[in-house]
Each structure stands twice: as structure tokens, then as C-alpha cells.
Amino acid sequence: MTHPGSRKRLLATCAAGALLAAGTAYVVTQASPALAATNASVWLTTPDRANQLTRKADVAFGTAGSGSTITVNPNTTYQSMVGFGASFTDSSANLIYNSSARNTVMNALFNPSSGIGLSFLRQPLGASDFSLNFYTYDDGAADPNLTRFSVAHDQAYILPLLTQARSLNPSLSTMVVPWSAPAWMKTNNNLVGGSLSTSYEATFANYLVKSVQAYQAAGVPVQYLSVQNEPQFSPPGYPGMLMSPSQQAAIINNLAPKLSAAGLGTKILAWDHNWDNTSFPQQVLAATGNNTAGTAWHCYGGDPSGQSTVRNAYPNKDIFFTECSGVESGNTFADSLLWQGRNLAIGATRNWAKTVTTWNLALNPSHGPVIGSCTNCMGVVTVNGGSITYNAEYYVLGHLAKFVKPGAVRIESTGYGQGGIENVAFRNPDGSIVLVAVNSGGAQNFQVSFGGSSFGYNLPGGSMATFTWPGGPVTPTSQPPVTSQPPATSIDPSKWYQVINTNSGKCLDDAGWGTANGTALQQWTCGAAAATNQQWQFRPTSNGYYQVVNRFAPNLVWDVNGGAGATGDGAQVHLWGYGGGTNQQWLPASLSGGAFRFTARNSAKCLDVRDVSTADGGLLQQWACTGGVAQSFRLVAVG
């Protein structure tokens, strides 16, 4: 982390407009939904701690209200969400693992029912400032073949907690990032300071591949990776490693094909540093192309609008918010609730972030253990033996994670600046609506409008609230186009088919006529004459399952990203060479009207058009089978 004290100063310097998203939304051609809800459920946290994610009385739609109006519009959509969480630093993991309240706090953190259901973890590879000692996975003399590589340190207490977290919340996604390469790879032969020797760039890429493989072998699939924490900061007292944009790009371009060759679906994120530098990430994105999935961001400089600056320049690259530590202050709970509510829960997500991630999951009452860094940082919880204190971070994350599920999509809501009811809204995969609101002024009345009806509410100053209600079905304004051939009612393995989503009327498509592993599976307007990149053959494997092969790129099949262990909602379905994995086998089931749904063998989850999209370029994912239109497909034989 960089200069945590600067986080507090941002409250005074951040322009209110920076918390409102810049850029283009996705306007989905849909009718306004009929209001399915009569009441909205309400959860409230107040700065005096009298309410701490407390369920309040429901509020009825159709009741009179006053004040400013937040109009929630589910027909305009932005980014899909991956998750919300923090980090099991070495210090955090050691505290929780050795606490007599371990199971209690793990349930409070990760259980979606009895806890807040955290759904994203960002894990240091080796030591950070919040460690009991300094280490990497290959310490000692130079070892260019990595024969000494071992994650034994993490197996003691970090990996057991990661696997426990995954068991409590199977939708959990994991990101990893090193603070430093092993000292022998660096220009100064020291974990503190220096940079990576250019002669060891390929070896460092191998080190990262082995790290991902070791975690996966331990039962922790890694969905995301950045190659260096805070590459433009050289901490004087703990591991760090300066890295230029050109070197980061070189490492990524070396690493990406190695991850692919190892059969790993891990996506690489650039930057992983502060909001105030938008040049570095753009240079890396320009130099790495499809090898980089997006950028990662911290809160210790600038404001959230930096995310939108980069996203607007690279609209096909994702934004992840990956670190921010709260600090002790004169009124720590109230200050952190307001600052993090405004800048992270609202600001980061309204500027395209797919994740909101704080820093330490746990610290002790002395704000440690820590080496050479922040002495007043706060964890999500404070652990003092068997005594657990739940801090403002817990409630800020809880107002999101407990209600906004992985795969949810941010939707349009009327934005207000500092002093008003700042807010962000989401639609979950089941259609339910979530509105998260922060009152950055005094106690005030406001109204929420949805689907032609509204309710009023009074929110105390400095408070945070989450409102949820059933959103009802979203119905297309027109029927999908009729094809020249009737849909198939059974599957003939000798034929090639268009696979058409019944909601959008668009064909599943090998994006960009790709032939490489990791090519996106997308929906696209069906060609007048069936294009071969939109033709699919179902080849039997066993017990009714099929591999689904593309005609243009017959080496590629539908594949759940992350391998057989990728069972969580939201895992992308892309294209990959067939290796017989259960994540590459699909079970068709007939639906009414001649449609089919397709279930992945590894997860028993359905092929699903992300965000119920009707747009060209909509991506495919796996999701718990709901019977919804995003999971319904027609087959049209083309030869």
C-alpha cells in the first residue's frame, strides 16, 4: 500500500462529479418492466453504530415522499460485477487462523446467509508490509530453474483459510499479486527496493505460473493476476519492486502464453496502483493487446474518475478496484463509513469497477502485525484472541456483498454529488434490484422511483443503506428474428447448427474468427448466410454430454474458464482446445417451444448470456440454472 494517510485527504479534495460515472452505458432494448414489488426491504448502518447493517421495516411502493428523486432504470446497463472483499494478508490469516473464534468470523465474512458473503479475495504472493516476516516462494541463492519453488509457507494457515472461504461461498473469485520477486531476480538482491533484472523477466513469468498452479492444486483456482503491486512506489521498509510500463508489458506478453499453455484461464490485470496515474495503465494496455484483460486500481492518490479515464480510452478492458485501507481517526467508524461508502461503494462502482476490495481482512488492536509501514491501518475486523470487533469496512462491504451477487450488472440510477444521497444500483441475475445509498449531507428525505411507482425515505446524515426489491421480468420489445429454418427439436451429431439465444435472437459466435485458446464466445447478429464462425457441432462424449465444436476453428470448444474446478457463478465460457475436461462437456435439456438449455458437466450450471444482454458482443458465462431467457437457446441446422 502507498501512503495510507493520503486516503483521508481525498475526502476533502475529491470533486463530487468524480463519483459519477463517465463514459457510455449499454442501452438494452427492453420494455419498461411492470412493477413486481410492493415493498422494498431496507438495511441500515448509522455512524453512531446504533444500526449496523440492521434490517429495518419494509417501505411500500406507492407511498408519498419528498425531496430529491433517485430514478432506477434497469434498461440501461453498465459493467457486470465480479465481487467484493479484501485480502488474507499473512498477518490477517495468522490472526484469524489462530483465533478461537475462527469459524465464527469466517462465517461472518464469507457465508452469504449468516454473514455478508464476501465474494472476492486479492492475495499477496509472498510477503507484503502486513506479514510476520519477509519471504517469497523461492528464497536463497539464484535458482533460475525454480527447483526450490514452494508455497509451504502459505500451506500453514493462508491456504486453509482460502479453501474454507471457498467452501462457505463457492462464488468466491481470487486474484493474486506479488509485492516483490525473489531477491536473486532483482537488481539489488534484496526484497526491499530495486527492480526486476531484465535477464530474469522470463523466469519471473515462470514463477507466476507456478504460483497459480500451486494455488489451484491446493483447491484455490486463480481467476485474476497482476504482475506487480504498486509498480511506481518503492517502499523503504518492506518488499516492493519498481516497474516501468515497458517492463510490465514485456512481462505480461511473456506470461500470457505461458498461462495459456499451462491450461490456466487466469486473466492478467495491468497497473494495480493509484487513481492519479492514468498514463501508465494506458501504455501497458496499448502494448499488450489481448494479453491483458483490464486494469486494477488503489485509492491512495487521485479520485475514482481515473478509472473512467482509462475505461473510456479502452472500453473493452475491465476495471477492478483492488485496494484501499481505512485508518484510525478521531471518529474512526463514522469517518470510514462515510469515506468508503462515498468513494468505494459508490465512486468506484459508478466508475466501472467490477470489484470493491479493501485491504487487510483482520488486524490486531495495535493495527498489526506490520513491518515498515502503516501503524494506524484498520482491518475489516479486529481480532484480539477470541474477541472480534467488526469495523466500518465490514459494513461497507456488507452493504454490497450481501445483496449484489457475482454476475449482477450495474444499472442506471440518478446520481447526486456530495451533500446529497449518493447512490448506485444493480440488477442481480435473478432480476432483483439493489440500491445502495450513502447520505453525505445532513438527515434528509428522498424518493426512489422504479417502474412507474415510488417510495419515500428519510436517511440520517452520514448513514449508509441498502434497498432491495424484486425487479420483475424484463421483456424484449420485439420478438427475435425468424430464421429461414425451423429450430431443431433434437440434436444430430452429424449436423452443424446455429445456436441462437431466444432473448436476443443473436447467434453464438467465435469472436473475431479466433483460432487461439481463450478466444471469446460471444453472441452476434446472425449472418444472412450462416458464417462458419457461427456454426457448432455437438460431438458426444458420454452419458448424454457433448463437446461443442466451432466449424471455423475446429480445434476450439465451449470451455468454462478456470478448468474443472471453476464451479462458481459468473465464470466465463470461452473457447479452448478440447482436452476432455468436464468443464468442456455440456448436457442439453429440451425446453418448451423447441429451445434448449446447456449444463456444464463440472458445475451443473447453465450456459448464460451475461447480464441478459441483447447486444452484439454479449459474453457467455455459467450461472445457476434459473429457467430465464438468458439460458434458453434455439438450434437451427445449417448443414
Q: Which residues are catalytic?
A: 230, 323
* Amino acid symbol at 15: A
Q: In 3D, which of 385, 326, 380, 432 has the Cα closest to residue 165?
A: 380
Whether 459 and 67 have beta carbons less than 8 Å apart is answered as no
Tell me the C-alpha distance between 234 and 216, whole Å: 30
According to DSSP, residue 9 is labeled H
Instruction: Give the Cβ contact number of residue 529 at 10 Å.
Output: 6
**CB-side neighbour CA atoms (13 Å) of 627:** 3
Angle at CA of residue 535, ends 533 and 540, nearest 5°: 125
Cell 424518493 found at = 447
C-alpha cell, 214 = 500451486
Q: Name the β-bridge partners of 356.
A: 84
Q: In 3D, which of 149, 138, 150, 159 has the Cα closest to residue 90?
A: 159
Dihedral through CA 60, CA 65, CA 67, CA 70, nearest 10?
Answer: 30
Tell me the C-alpha distance between 578 and 271, whole Å: 33
Tell me the C-alpha distance between 227 and 255, whole Å: 9
Instruction: Please report the beta strands in 408-528, taking only residues with DSSP state E, as ranges in sequence order.
Output: 409-413, 421-427, 433-439, 444-450, 453-459, 464-469, 497-501, 507-510, 521-524
Tell me the C-alpha distance between 256 and 358, whole Å: 27
Instruction: Give the Cβ contact number of residue 319 at 10 Å.
Output: 25
What SS3 state is found at 248?
helix
In sequence order, which residues have a C-beta less than 8 Å from that of residue 297 and are 6 or more positions away?
271, 272, 273, 274, 275, 306, 307, 319, 320, 321, 322, 348, 353
Tell me the C-alpha distance between 339 and 590, whole Å: 50
